[in-house]
Structure 1
Amino acid sequence: MPAIRPSRIARTAPEHCGSFSAAACGNTRTQIPGFKAGGTSGIRSAVTGTPHILLVEDDREISQLVARYLRGNDLRVSLAGDGREMDRLLADSRIDLIILDLMLPGEDGLSICRRLRAQSGVPILMLTAKGEEIDRIVGLEIGADDYLAKPFNPRELLARIRAVLRRGAGTEREEDGARRLAFAGFVLDPDLRQLVNPDGAQVALTAAEFDLLHAMGLRPGRVLSRDQLLDLTQGRAPGPFERSIDVLISRIRQKIERDPRNPEMIKTIRSGGYVFTPAVTRA
């Protein structure tokens, strides 16, 4: 199956609205009916915060053009060139939808889709070569939420993203993450959104504190930067004087550490961020 190239996209311009040419991506909002300058795409209401899209595509030029178009329509976009880069970004960020190319170096898109479905409920929109009906059918059978054949119209890609996000609004994105986490005698329950201490008493946590502790509990032993924690818990980039993560960490330490001034469970890593040190089991 030939991988699509930018020149192939350019040749389809009369039929596909100038799909992903530099000129087409430079001013995207006014090219889509129903979008007004200064307005929003309407996607934001489907998920908390600005939707975060992960595009897994090995052609860097296509990736950059697609990313520029989507960012021009109120979407956050991260790029991965293969399955390993995708895994790293999924571990470090909260992703609302994955656009997954079928033809990738190393692990192919069908294998990645099958693996993702065994681990997570994150929506997947698969990109396939035009006319490869069998691959599209297999992709849907193993768990892809939708597919789009190359070359494609950027308006159609945006419309399909919106539709998939609407269908997935209010559902659990990480099914495995809904399991209870046990550490150092504490039990963190995502369904009840509560923390129980070793004595069996409930620990009062704000919603922001719970989300941060849960994000760290899912990634024990890993150094997480403030930016990563902010993205994982609130789905947004930090401001120039962002200190909210530090404040939340301090409050959580007051509630779970034996000595908050000398913390053992949430350690600060100089110039790195924070690491959650206890062994975590899931039940």
Structure 2
Amino acid sequence: MEDDFDLRQGLTDFLRLNSLSVTAVANGAEFDRALGTENFDVAIIDLNLPDTSGFDIAGRLAKTSGIGIVILTARTTRDDKIRGYAAGADIYLSKPVDGDELVYAVKNLAKRIKQIGKVSQAPLQSTTSWFVDRVTQVLISPEGVAIKLSGREAKLLLRLAAEGGNIVSRAELVHAMGYQESAEKSRGLDAVLRRLRSKTREAGTDLPVHAVHAAGFHFAARITAN
């Protein structure tokens, strides 16, 4: 994601010459459209974009996806680097960047992302309960099926798991997932639950998260987390 046309084209050509598949975009809006139609292993993000902040995009990706994040920017101060890593960047590179360094950074990061994906998709030994791994953000069903979670899906399940089957209010869950209070009205929690139920159905099981009228939600099965 780079708004300078010449630099964007040059980086795109060089990466493609090194056997990488690249989708080049100039701003945050184009990136969001691409993200909705394509799958990516790594995102290369400039910080100074015309319509949004690269920090915001990095933070959103870190919370809601398993995409590797490379920040590539002319901003080289210590504060910017710390802020970039705090937002979720895996790698922070400064312009002008050496093309070969960028290629190896992207390839190595993509390799690690794919290895994590393979581990999360591998069937595990059957257990008597559900299990959430907060590090890899994977949900394991009692049948041993691994389901990859987004950041907010993982936070939702970890909050429910911490209550040991007790009811958690909607407001508490919204807060645990990092939404602003206004998001409660926009049904952000319900959207996350819908996606999570869809994922578990695709994995051949049903998610035992039950709504309790005027009270909240609870996980109606044994669930543990690490």
Structure 2 CA distance for aligned equivalents of residues 124 and 147 of structure 1? 9
Residue 159 of structure 1 and its aligned partner are, at CA, apart by 1.4
Which position in structure 2 is the counterpart of 1:101?
A: 46
Structure 2 CA distance for aligned equivalents of residues 86 and 166 of structure 1? 22
Residue-by-residue CA offset, 1:160-206 (whole Å, 9 max, x unaligned)? 11221233232249633883318xxx9322xxxx378xxxxxxxxxx
Structure 2 CA distance for aligned equivalents of residues 147 and 162 of structure 1? 15
1:175 paired residue among 131, 139, 149: 149
Structure 2 CA distance for aligned equivalents of residues 76 and 175 of structure 1? 25
Structure 2 CA distance for aligned equivalents of residues 61 and 121 of structure 1? 29
Residue 119 of structure 1 and its aligned partner are, at CA, apart by 1.2
* TM-score, normalisation: structure 1: 0.44
SS of the residue aligned with 2:43?
Answer: strand
Residue 112 of structure 1 and its aligned partner are, at CA, apart by 1.1
Aligned residues between the structures: 134
Higher share of residues assigned helix: 2
Residue 89 of structure 1 and its aligned partner are, at CA, apart by 0.4
Gaps of 5+ in 2: 121-147, 154-194, 207-226
Amino acid at match of 1:180: R
Q: How does 1:263-274 map to 2 (within 5 A)?
A: none
CA contact 1:130–1:151 (8 Å) conserved in 2: no
Residue 128 of structure 1 and its aligned partner are, at CA, apart by 2.0
Residue-by-residue CA offset, 1:94-125 (whole Å, 9 max, x unaligned)? 11100000110121100111122221121000
RMSD between superposed Cα atoms in Å: 2.4
Gaps of 5+ in 1: 1-55, 197-283
Which position in structure 2 is the counterpart of 1:123?
A: 68
Q: Percent identity?
A: 33
* TM-score, normalisation: structure 2: 0.54
Residue 146 of structure 1 and its aligned partner are, at CA, apart by 0.5
The question of 1:111 aligning with 2:125 is answered no
SS of the residue aligned with 1:169?
Answer: helix
CA contact 2:56–2:87 (8 Å) conserved in 1: no
Please tell me whether Structure 1 or Structure 2 has the larger radius of gyration of its CA atoms: 1
Residue 57 of structure 1 and its aligned partner are, at CA, apart by 0.6
The question of 1:188 aligning with 2:202 is answered yes
CA contact 1:57–1:100 (8 Å) conserved in 2: yes
Amino acid at match of 1:175: L
Which position in structure 2 is the counterpart of 1:89?
A: 34
